[in-house]
Each structure stands twice: as C-alpha cells, then as structure tokens.
Amino acid sequence: MQMMKESKTTSTPIPVSKKGSVPSVPQLEVFKNQNAILRNPLPFHHENFEKLGHTFMVKLGAGYKIIFTRDSETIKYILQKNHKNYQKSPLQTKDLGKYIGQGLLTSNGEHWRKHRRMVQPAFHKKKLVGLLDAMWSAVQDEIERIDASTVQNVLPLMGDVAFQVVARALFSAEDIRERMQKLQRITVLNQKMLIREMRRPYLKWWFQLDGSIKRHLELSKDAQNILNEIVEERLASGEEKDDLLDMLLQAKYEDGTAMPRKQLLDELLILFTAGHETTANALSFTLYLLAKHPEMQEEVYQETQKADFENGDQMQNLSLLIFTQQCIEEAMRLYPPVYVIDRVSIKDDIVDERKIKKRTTWLLSMYELHRSAHWDNPDEFRPERFAADVKKNHSDYYYPFGAGPRMCVGNNFAMYEMIMAVGGIVKKFKLTTDMDEVVLDPLVSLRPKEVVLRFSER
C-alpha cells in the first residue's frame, strides 16, 4: 500500500528514549515551515520524530511549548495509568469548545464526569440494538443514491451516509436533510477556522481583529438554532421515539433535574460533529483500501452473502461480518480519525524519567504510534492483524477511539454503522480506483482530500 509521499514511515528499530531534557524544535524552524504545517502537519511531526526520537518539544513563543510523543509507554501512562493527572487541554476545552459548546468532548473535571454519566447509558450495547434497524434504513437509503455510472469522490457520499445515520439515531427523522447539510457546512467551515488558530497561534490577535473568529462564532449560533428547532419540534409533538434525543431529554442529574437546554444543545452538537465527521473519514479510507486490494474486497463480498440486513436479527448480521470489521479496524490503524490526542498535566510529574512541569501540553500522536515498528510492515494494509486470536497483542499500540475513562462514548455505535455501510456497499458494488495514493487533509480529525472510486454494479 502506498501512503502520502511527504511522510513515508519505515520499520526501523525504535530508538531508545533519551532521558533528561526533552529535545526541542526551535521556534524559527516552526515559523519557516508554517505554511506546510498549516496544510498538513504530519510530515513535520514525522521528520522531527525521526530526528529527535519518540518525544520532542515544539516552542511556539511567549513561553508556550507543546510536547509531542509517539512513545507507547508514555501514551499509555497519560491516557490510562495516571489519567487523573491529565485532562483535555485548552486546545479543546477553549478553542474547540467555543465553536461546539461545552460537552463530553470539550469539558473536564466534574462537569465532564456528570454529563458522561448521563450520556453513556444511551450508547450501551443493549440500547443500540433498538437503533440498528433505523441505522440500516439510513445506510440503505444512501447506498441507493450512489450513481454507478460515474467515477466519483466518495468522501461527500460517506458524509451523507454518516449524516443520515446520526439524524435517524438522534432524531428519528427523515425530513431534515436540508438542515443537516447546513449543519455539515457549518461544521467544516468552523473546523478550518479552528485549525488556522491552532497551527498559527501567533496570529490569533489578527483573527480577532479582522472579524474571522466573530463570523465563525455566529455560524456556531446558527448550528445551535438548527438543533433547537428540532428539539422544539419533538417537544411540541408529544411523541416518544426511543431514540438518542429521547434518552437525553429523559436523562436526569443525581438531584432529579433534567439537562438544561443549552447543555442539551451542546451535547447534541458534539454528538453530531463527532458522530459523523470521524465516521465519514474512516469509511472513505476503508473503501479506498478495499479498492486497492481487490482480493480482500472479494473476501468481504463473500462474507456479506451470509448477512441479510433487509430481514432478520441485525446484531446477528453484524456478528457474521468478521473480516469486514477487521478491514475497518486496519483502516483506522493506518488512518486514525483521531490522529492526535491532547492532554495537559495538572501537577508536576515524571514521565519517561523526565521531570515535567504542571500545565504542560501534550500531543499524543496516534498516527505515528499506529505506524510504528511495533507493527510488522506498518505501512501495509493487513486486516489479519485484527483476527480475534492476535488483536489483543496490539492493545498497547492501537487507540482508534482513545483509551482510559475518556475513550469515545460512541465507539460501538460507530463500528456498527461502519460495518453496515462497508458490507452494504461491497455487497452491491465492485470498487476500483486509479488513485496511487491518498492525500491527507488533517483538520480536527484526519480526512482525505478526496477518494475517487468507480462503483460497478455486481
């Protein structure tokens, strides 16, 4: 499998960590590479990992520093072993939070714990069983919309699939496509603005001065208004749909009170944003890889002959698509939707025998870890890595949904949706592509610039 030319990885032995001070990248080097970093920071990360080791520091001026790591022990320590000392950094709680609200993805401490307890039951496997028919209905409708007569970019198609699945699961609605498309447009525009702020923090003063941030905050208000309309329509109808919106409306704090409307809208916007963006990207990468590997696509196709999503037990159908799931898991190894995870230390700590001061920001590179020498031939697409008898061997090097207490609450939802979508598409179409490689477009999540495929009816 070929990947983007700028950041070709190797399977060379992992260098021994250097103890003592963390090697750093001078601010001047960051400034010289600012345009390339804005377009895609992954080659810059990879170059410095190869040059400086598994952990390095980037200096961004005014005393602001970020430590990058791809070291598996450090990542496990921060996300799991000593997670209480590490919380989401202002990159998410402040910068991202101002656009999508203060919910599970963008909050810390007691606020996060309280709302995690409220939201998590809605994503329990037993609850999701009741949503599987609606999920398949949305997937099937979008598959029927695929035009097999042309070569096309599948990224917007997969965006539509993920959008409609979230819409049906959250809102039990089939008539909100126009509003969902507007919400999608706002999400993409605000992501691009956020990335400009994150990768050029020294220009935040200018973004404030020229009105860019103000304009995008207005777009966020428009997104909240769209969701509020949908909530008002549900309350006015008096209907109970037993969907995710109902579960959130009925959720109660420990004192018996319901979630305030503003908080409900924040959680809905975050579930919507996280629930479609990462899934659409993962689906696009998976289809690309299957198009590049026809023998594996054929194995998926043969497997889908055993499943009948139009009839029967949906959970049973999902359990039959074992190799299909392995292909998705391997695609998320090569192209992790959450390609970096941010954390900031609450107290001073010792990490990899280095003294680290409190309030240090960390960026944990899932992209680099997933392509490290912990894996045999890491750049190759090998779904067999995730066969039941071997996948446990990779648990310390594979975090497609994060890890620890802040692991993605919707991981099962996303996996069910992706298995249905990949299985349904391959069952109906043969996929081919003329693309030699996929060009990456890392925003808040890792996405491809485009994935151009040919769909041929089987």
| Beta bridge partners of residue 55, listed in sequence order | 69
82-111: burial string, b at 16+ Cβ within 10 Å, e else: bbebbbbbebbbebbbbbbbbbbbbbbeee
For the cut 60, the answer to whether the pLDDT of residue 91 exceeds it is: yes
190-244 residue pLDDT tens: 888 988 888 787 788 899 899 999 999 999 999 999 999 999 999 998 888 888 8
Mean pLDDT check: name the lowest of 7-21, 83-97, 145-159. 7-21
Q: What is the mean pLDDT of the chain?
A: 89
Q: What is the CATH number of the domain that holds 347?
A: 3.30.43.20
246-281 residue pLDDT tens: 989 988 888 889 999 999 999 998 888 877 889 999
The pLDDT of residue 238:
87
The pLDDT of residue 150:
84
Give the type of residue at 112.
W
The pLDDT of residue 404:
93
For the cut 60, the answer to whether the pLDDT of residue 5 exceeds it is: no
The pLDDT of residue 59:
82
The pLDDT of residue 298:
98
Instruction: Tell me, yes or no, whether 82 lies in a domain.
Output: yes
For the cut 70, the answer to whether the pLDDT of residue 410 exceeds it is: yes
117-137 residue pLDDT tens: 888 888 888 889 989 998 999
Is the Cβ–Cβ distance between 385 and 398 less than 8 Å?
no
For the cut 60, the answer to whether the pLDDT of residue 37 exceeds it is: yes
The pLDDT of residue 4:
41
Average pLDDT over residues 29-57: 92
Instruction: Tell me, yes or no, whether 345 lies in a domain.
Output: yes
The pLDDT of residue 259:
92
The pLDDT of residue 74:
97
What residues contact residue 20 under an 8 Å CB cut-off, 6+ apart? 354
The pLDDT of residue 62:
67
Burial class from Cβ neighbours inside 10 Å (0-12, 13-18, 19+) for residue 161 reads buried
Instruction: Tell me, yes or no, whether 393 lies in a domain.
Output: no
Domain of 67? Answer: 1-87+339-378
297-314 residue pLDDT tens: 999 999 999 999 888 789
Round to whole Å and give the CA distance between 426 and 439: 23
Instruction: Tell me, yes or no, whether 407 lies in a domain.
Output: no
63: its two tokens: 């005393």
The pLDDT of residue 16:
39
Instruction: Tell me, yes or no, whether 131 lies in a domain.
Output: no
What residues contact residue 31 under an 8 Å CB cut-off, 6+ apart? none
Instruction: Tell me, yes or no, whether 11 lies in a domain.
Output: yes
State how many domains the chain has. 1
Average pLDDT over residues 426-439: 96
Average pLDDT over residues 54-70: 87
Round to whole Å and give the CA distance between 269 and 245: 12
Which carries the bigger pLDDT value, residue 8 or residue 163? 163
Instruction: Tell me, yes or no, whether 3 lies in a domain.
Output: yes
The pLDDT of residue 35:
86
Round to whole Å and give the CA distance between 300 and 290: 9
For the chain, percent of residues with pLDDT exceeding 70: 95
Instruction: Tell me, yes or no, whether 358 lies in a domain.
Output: yes
